[in-house]
Structures are given as structure tokens and as C-alpha cells.
């Protein structure tokens, strides 16, 4: 099940982010993002939370800010479900397309996004700090499907 997560879930979202990433966002950072009315978060759960996505919409475009899936919940469809749900939520908020950034070295995430229809649209050189130097960010974009009328 995927459901909205509000400002009251900042501690939970930060704990999930900490388990998913080496450089996690704090509850305060997440709360600051969620203070912006354009930002939204969705959480995936079965009996327990498995992960979340944060995104925002502005000017007809949506952007995925982070997708965090717990290590033990990976490769079970949660990431795809969260990315798709964020796209649907962005579409409802008026976005015609969705974009994201992913580390060039994150082959699993890049494969997932490509499977979901995202295509490389650009590159940000040395965007992420990495061991031995910066890691490029791959900017990926996809149009959001318009409902048939």
C-alpha cells in the first residue's frame, strides 16, 4: 500500500532514509522540504514501512527528490511502485513530465528508471561526492501519460 506522508512522519522518513543511504537526510531537512506546499511524500508499507519517495511539482514539471527503499525490501517492486505513484501524484498536480537525478554509479536505480520509461536527458559533472572524487549525476526525464478521455 502506498499512502501520503505528511510533516508528522519526518522522523520515520529520516529513519528510512538513514537505512537506505550512506549520507541520509535528517528529520529537520525533510521537515523543511515538506514545509513547501509543492513538495509531497508517499510511503510504501506492508505491515511495516518499506520505503518512501519525495517529489515536488512546479511549472508543469515534477521532480523526484529521493527514493529510499530499505535494503531488505529492495527488488520486490517497492521502488517501481513509489516512482509510479509519484508520477501519478505529480500528474494530478499539473505536471506534464517528471525528472530525477541518479548517480552514474547507481546501476540498479538507473536500470529501474529506464524500465519505467525514464531516458537520459543530461549530466551534471561531479555532482555527487564520492570516494576518490566526484560522481556524475545522470538527469533522467519522462513524459507523464495523459489520461485518455
Q: Catalytic site residue 131?
A: no
Task: Determine whether 127 is an active site residue.
Answer: no
What letter does residue 46 receive in the DSSP assignment? S
Whole-structure pTM value: 0.91
**Looking at 3, 11, 101, 131, which residue is catalytic?**
101
113 exposure class (CB count in 10 Å sphere: 0-12, 13-18, 19+): buried
Pick the CATH number of 2-143 from 3.40.630.30, 3.40.50.1980, 3.40.50.720, 1.20.1440.120: 3.40.630.30
Of 11, 113, 120, 131, the catalytic one is 113
Q: What residues does each domain of the chain span? A: 2-143
Edge-to-edge strands, sheet with 49-58: 2-5, 39-45, 49-58, 61-69, 97-103, 133-143, 119-130
- Cα-Cα-Cα-Cα dihedral of 115, 6, 24, 117, to 10°? 10
User: For 18-74, what is each residue's pLDDT tens digit?
Assistant: 999 988 999 999 999 999 999 999 999 988 999 999 999 998 999 999 999 999 999
Amino acid at each position: 500500500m502506498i499512502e501520503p506522508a505528511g510533516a508528522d512522519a519526518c522522523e520515520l522518513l529520516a529513519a528510512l532514509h538513514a537505512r537506505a543511504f550512506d549520507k541520509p537526510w535528517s528529520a529537520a531537512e525533510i521537515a523543511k522540504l515538506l514545509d513547501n506546499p509543492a513538495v509531497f511524500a508517499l510511503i510504501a508499507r506492508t505491515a511495516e514501512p518499506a520505503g518512501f519517495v519525495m517529489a515536488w511539482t512546479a511549472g508543469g514539471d515534477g521532480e523526484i527528490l529521493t527514493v529510499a527503499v530499505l535494503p531488505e525490501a529492495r527488488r520486490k517492486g517497492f521502488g517501481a511502485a513509489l516512482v509510479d505513484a509519484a508520477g501519478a501524484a505529480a500528474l494530478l498536480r499539473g505536471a506534464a513530465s517528471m525528472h530525477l537525478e541518479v548517480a552514474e554509479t547507481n546501476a540498479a536505480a538507473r536500470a529501474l528508471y529506464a524500465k519505467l520509461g525514464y531516458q537520459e536527458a543530461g549530466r551534471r559533472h561531479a555532482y555527487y561526492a564520492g570516494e576518490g572524487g566526484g560522481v556524475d549525476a545522470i538527469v533522467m526525464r519522462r513524459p507523464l501519460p495523459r489520461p485518455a478521455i
